[in-house]
Structure 1
Amino acid sequence: MKYIFLFAALLFGAQPSYAQQKPEVVIATDITNFWNAYDKITATKDSTQQLNYLNQLFINKGTPGLKAMMQVRNYTAKQYIDAINRYPLFWNSIRTNTLKAKAFASDIAINVSKLRKLYPQLKPAQVYFTMGILRSGGTTLNNNVLVGSEISMTDEYTVTSEFPDNYKNLGNFFKTNPIKSLVFTNVHEYVHTQQKSTQINTLLGQCIMEGVAEFMAVKATGQASPTFAMFKSNINTQRLKQVFARQLLNSINYGYWLYNDEQNEFNERDLGYYVGYLICQNYYNKVKDKQQAIKQMIELDYNNDADLLAFVDQSEYFNQKSSALKSQYEVSRPAVAGIKPFKNGANDVNPATTQITIEFSTGMNKRSRNFELGPLGMDNLMRVQRFIGFSDDGKQMTIEVELKPNRRYQLLLGPRFMNKDGVSINPYLIDFTTAGQ
């Protein structure tokens, strides 16, 4: 049966100005299709037949939401088959919950309607209950809310005994009974469809973007945030503020603030949501016109540093102006002090050189690094044949290379090179030319 639940009566019945717009819908056919395919797939050991069932009964029949989720998370048919075969106890333990999608449709509609009262400019979006492969409980693409039902509709009884060690965070998350927060999660994701972007250039911008969605979900639903690491009594908020201020303008590298389980002094993941929420809460409480405050938060360009920092200053969350924090951040950034056995920019490097050592101004995080192409692209890339490692104090890093004569080489050290406090380097270009034979 195709689950399509129109929101028109709830969301538009009392608002004639929306009469000509396409009504929001919750679409859950991907869940039904998945289980139809699952039953066929698990009834055979023939890998070719398994792929055929998956494609015919699930992917080819998939909603735009499923296709969007596969695009955003880079899911492939083979990955689905591998997950189905590896985790049978897990899949069987979530089946009943995922088939409850129909029961949540009206509650989602009611709370989206509440969101519209807070933000009358709310644009229509569609909510898709999809089935993924354990890499997203919820995300968005354009005006689509994409629910990863295999994560968002779990509970404390979900079986995780088959999972590898790197999925440990999922087990902890399932114990919080995510299905009980499903409506809240959808409102959070719905807010993302209204924002200018969800791919932000700085840690501060990304945290505020998430914080706005969390804050608005709290205001619309009237519920306390269920997001992991939110409102924990063991978090020293003043210390949290101090530590975050040292890293707020990091680009790309989100450290332990968002989307990962990297160890930190607070022993909590995703604290960036909490910091972003607190900034928004401060701002909202200080502005007299609450509806204008909401409009400002949702429509803020989180990639515009000037606007973003002005917003933070208005919130008065930090004890200093953002200009001072920015200056302190730049001063605190680690730097590349030099390279050995030659100077960067040299034109006569011995092509027999097989190791290069990069020296840093301070001890670096030994687990984090990234190499990128230089401006001249692939043709001039100095390939890292082997990463030898950091020195004990983290101030030197050695790589193994293979060079040819009369060649110009480039390699860019990216922002995932960071010090022990999680502060990134400015990208550093290694650029040199080898001598002739």
Structure 2
Amino acid sequence: MKLKLLLASATSALVLQASAQQVKFTEYDLANGLHVILHQDKTAPVVAVSVMYHVGSKDEIPGRTGFAHFFEHLLFEGSDNMKRGDFMKIVSDNGGRNNANTSQDRTFYYETFPSNQLELGLWLESERMLHPKIEEAGVRTQNEVVKEEKRMRVDNQPYGKYIDVISRHLFQGHPYRWQPIGSMADLDAAKLQEFQAFFKKNYVPANAVLSIAGDISIENTKALVEKYFAEVPKGNPVTKAEYVLKPITKEIVDTAYDANIQIPAIMTAYRAPGMRSRDAKALNMLSTLLSGSGSSRLSTKMVDDKKTAIQVSAFNLTMEDYGIYIALALPGNNTPLNNLLADIDAEVLKVQNELISEKEFTKLQNQFENAAVSANSTMIGLAENLADGYTFHAKNTNAINEELKEIKSITREEIRAAARKYLNKESRVVLYYLPKK
């Protein structure tokens, strides 16, 4: 048994070492502005085809929220060369799978196929970009789909609305104050011409990245990309609005009620820097220190030792312009919420005043190295991370290879400095999240 464990451990180490190697890629632009990234990996006969559009809920306007997420659904409706509803059937009939997701800052579509279906994947994504069906019938259908998704994931989901409440306080004056799901009233009120205009403005080649990873020939793939995407019209340049928010100078205390919960929660939230900031990475490490595992500081103190909480969590939601650093706890043994808040604050104060130990620091670095390896362990993960680098790191696709090095260069002093700079009581939201009677 010991020999088996040693062999398994050695094999895992080799896999991690191999996975942590530099990701090689080829990148170039088509004449219409579409950025193309290709990564060849012949270890398995699989290919991932993806398109990341640099459009999210941040690109919407008040009164017409939810458009980016709506298009995540609408662009599966078909095209001039594909009947409505056939997109997913074509994918599944050819051994593939597909999905899409939308954030505040981008929309990501992808398919994974056996590698001999690469051309099919490229045709599907070019159809989505070139001439999708944006018609009344599809808009009505997807409107109902989005409403049902909102009911399931937000309205009827326990603790499903706290991010919305927090964001409204932290991001007054910025589109981050609403969530990607948007307002159903806004979608109901929108005219077909508004959806068509939103597509024409944002879903142009220069606002997108085509990222392909897997068992491919680079030269053959270039020829196929040219075949299917070169004819897409260039469109007009996309100009991004810039937002600079005033600092929060006084603690905001609010109460929200949720009919889907029986156990209350206490939450603190701070406006954090955007994803490109080195401080954002330091806050990511800090949140992992506080609650990233069962042996983390908050979990050990509040769940294991004092047994005042049944759950405690700290995490840093990073977006392009800003982020949200959140710490929350659910009480156990009828512990008052203010007692939980005091314990969370005490741990934050400790990090602000004392350097974390060398042992904790080494553990953090190992956790982030493992996370980086896992993030690049699939073809679709690689395709997405390559596109992320180009889209959000000043067109630096090589960020996929630099991210871990930068994280490992962050010092204990920087973690302490980030806690001092951003986690201050006078610039936070405290939310009492209570059951609705």
TM-score by length of 2: 0.27
Q: With CA pairs under 8 Å and 6+ residues apart, which has the higher RCO, 1 or 2?
A: 2
Larger radius of gyration: 1
Give the strand-richer structure, 1 or 2: 2
Give the helix-richer structure, 1 or 2: 2
